[in-house]
Amino acid sequence: MADRVYLDWNATAPLRLQARAAVSAALDVVGNPSSVHAEGRSARRLIEEARESVAALVGAEPRNVVFTSGGTEANMLALVPASARDRLLVSAIEHPSVLAGGRFPAAAVERLPVDADGGIALDALERRLAALGGRALVSLMLANNETGVVQPVSQAARLVHAAGSLLHVDAVQGCGRIPFDINTLEPDLVTISGHKIGAPKGVGALVRRDASVPFPAPLISGGGQERGVRAGTENVAAIAGLGVAAAAARASLAADGAHMTALRDRLEAELRAATPEVIIFGAGAERLPNTTLFAVPGMKAETAVIAFDLEGIAVSSGAACSSGKVQPSHVLAAMGVSPSLARAAVRISLGPTTTESDLERFNQAWIRVSGALLKRSEGIAA
């Protein structure tokens, strides 16, 4: 529907026009990128151009980029035990694909606490690293997909490396939305996903900082594609779309960030004005410029999401991969939020093409939705 307002960019971003054109053009390239003839070389050229663009987005060298089917596969590829590192430390707010531990046995995975704003407790990380004596692989997201809270990656990297351990960063939500340089923040491995930055769904990458960091053992074995790290004929069209989307995100990063920050701040100010009892999670911490997770006591998030949908507005009750489940958010639980308040949490996530008119539509709908739902909850309570 043309008149709908899309405010769920953290679930997936609309396909960029440049990426759509790149995908369409790549579909007409016949060759297998592993073939040495002209057609194969044409397909290979598209992949290597995309590799250069993805590398530039994170400040890496192209040879350190391996393409995958998305963020979950890249996380699975990264999270593998080795003889010297047999424990996995993760923050309690990670994506389910990281909380599951990748290829680590469940008994080898430890969750670390976060503070009330959702930032990892660095003191707890330091203590566990000291106790493990270099046996750990640590996985920490760049920015949380529900609250938008940006994690202290640089400080964590210093602690991890001082202990002789390795750091993996799931940068799926933050990369392309905030500045990220692999050589400045110093993670050893980084996960990105295409569909969060306007590339097609079903493509992502695992990036290593430099050649001193070995690529993990393959998750998918077979042919020698992707330097032997990820077998299978490459998805040339999706990879081409990812390359173009990465270049576009990098080129407009500062402007898009300023635009979304201004809209987010306006959104939150108007939420507070219309509903003084609103709680905005992570408001005291550094956050992504596009993300607001809020709750009003007594309101049910799933009912609010349906009501907004009927108003022609797409929002979320949390992470898209788990919002259909009835239990409260594990992120908010880790932050110490009560289950009843967590069940009221609604996520608004903006994008570069979100407009002031979109927010005006949301604000008008919020007045109607919140009025009806809060009146209903008061009636039930009475």
Residue with the two structure tokens 């410029």: 289
Helices 356-381 and 301-310, interaxial angle, to 10°? 130
Q: Which of 251, 268, 302 is the last residue of a domain?
A: 251
Same domain, 89 and 207: yes
Catalytic site residue from 321, 339, 355, 375? 321
Same domain, 265 and 329: yes
Beta bridge partners of 111: 90
Q: How many domains does the chain have?
A: 2
Residue 205 near residue 214 (C-beta atoms within 8 A): no
Question: Distance between CA atoms of 226 and 218, rounded to whole angstroms?
Answer: 10
Q: Which of 251, 268, 283 is the last residue of a domain?
A: 251
Same domain, 219 and 295: no
Q: Which of 229, 251, 273 is the last residue of a domain?
A: 251
Please give the model's pTM, rounded to 2 decimal places.
0.94
Question: Distance between CA atoms of 178 and 239, rounded to whole angstroms?
Answer: 22
Helices 17-26 and 236-251, interaxial angle, to 10°? 150
Q: What are the two backbone dihedrals, phi and then psi, of residue 301, each rounded to the nearest 5 degrees? A: -65, -45
Same domain, 228 and 171: yes
Q: Is 321 a catalytic residue?
A: yes
The pLDDT tens digits along the chain (382 residues) read: 458 999 999 999 999 999 999 999 999 999 999 999 999 999 999 999 999 999 999 999 999 999 999 999 999 999 999 888 999 999 999 999 999 999 999 999 999 999 999 999 999 999 999 999 889 999 999 999 999 999 999 999 999 999 999 999 999 999 999 999 999 999 999 999 999 999 999 999 999 999 999 999 999 999 999 999 999 999 999 999 999 999 999 999 999 999 999 999 999 999 999 999 999 999 999 999 999 999 999 999 999 999 999 999 999 986 555 545 556 799 999 999 999 999 999 999 999 999 999 999 999 999 999 988 876 655 555 4
Same domain, 230 and 352: no
Residue 97 near residue 73 (C-beta atoms within 8 A): no
**55 closest CA partner among 234, 203, 235, 207:** 207
Question: Distance between CA atoms of 98 and 190, rounded to whole angstroms?
Answer: 13
Domain span at residue 266?
5-13+253-381
